[in-house]
Amino acid sequence: MGILDLFRKDEVVGTKVLVCTIDHQFAELVNEDAAIYERRYPATTKAIFSGLGELMEAVERGYDVVHLLCDVRSSGEITDSSGSAVTGTQLIDKCCESNVKLLWVASDNSPDAYINGFKARGKRLNLVMTIKRNGPKFTHSLEELLFRMSCGDAMPVAWNDLWPQIPGSVHPDAPEGLFLANRGSVRLL
């Protein structure tokens, strides 16, 4: 990000959201998470794709948010039932090419899987990588975060208000995850 990016208005009105999976085991969570997005962002689409090809094609359709439920292998790859695979970095690249502002991997995955396969340094994209949803804590936390964002807060501001990033702080009512704010100034209205 360059110095001029700090002064560029990065605001989306009518945010388009894709809540999706490539694995039927996540169908219930797709419905739950999509219902939360729909309350704040009416242009929400939910989908259960048959494979990675369909997912990658959908990413190209101009979504601002891609909220994906999937298993990430320890190597950092996402695979579908046919054996096709992409690394997290390839998915990040596709999202950046398609001007996705937020990629959220919303299912439980190990930190090592993300470290091994999700290289986002220098990519113009906010990235959330869920380690542990913690049951209903995820639903409540997502609702709170989206409320603040849909009212105009940039994601890093909303995130820090809810879960201050102070060394040693604990947030027992929140899911566990990693947030990389490479497009921190974007406002999703």
E strand intervals along 99-144:
102-105, 126-132
According to the model, what pLDDT value does residue 9 have? 74
Under the banding of pLDDT at 50, 70 and 90, the label for residue 1 is very low
Structure tokens at 77: 């790859």
Q: Which of 64, 139, 185, 161 is nearest to 130 (CA)?
A: 139
- Give the pLDDT confidence score for residue 172 in this predicted structure: 85
Give the distance from CA 51 to its chain's centroid.
19
Beta strands 126-132; 102-105: pairing state: parallel
Please determine, for residue 151, whether its predicted confidence score (pLDDT) is greater than 50.
yes
**What is d(CA 88, CA 111) in angstroms, rounded to the nearest whole number?**
13
Mean pLDDT of 89-101: 98
Tell me the pLDDT of the chain averaged across its residues. 93
CA distance 34 to 63: 14
pLDDT of residue 80: 93
Whether the Cβ atoms of residue 102 and residue 155 lie closer than 8 Å to each other: yes
Q: Are 188 and 64 in contact (CB under 8 A)?
A: yes
Model pLDDT for residues 23-39, shown as the tens digit of each residue: 999 999 999 999 999 99
Architecture of domain 11-164+171-183: 3-Layer(aba) Sandwich (3.40)
Count Cβ atoms within 10 A of the Cβ of residue 149 and give its class: 0-12 exposed, 13-18 middle, 19 or more buried. buried
3-state secondary structure of 69: strand
- Average pLDDT score over residue span 135-152: 95
Q: Sketch the domain layout of the chain as residue ranges.
A: 11-164+171-183
Q: Where residue 153 falls among pLDDT bands split at 50, 70, 90?
A: very high
In whole angstroms, what separates CA 126 from the centre of its chain? Answer: 8
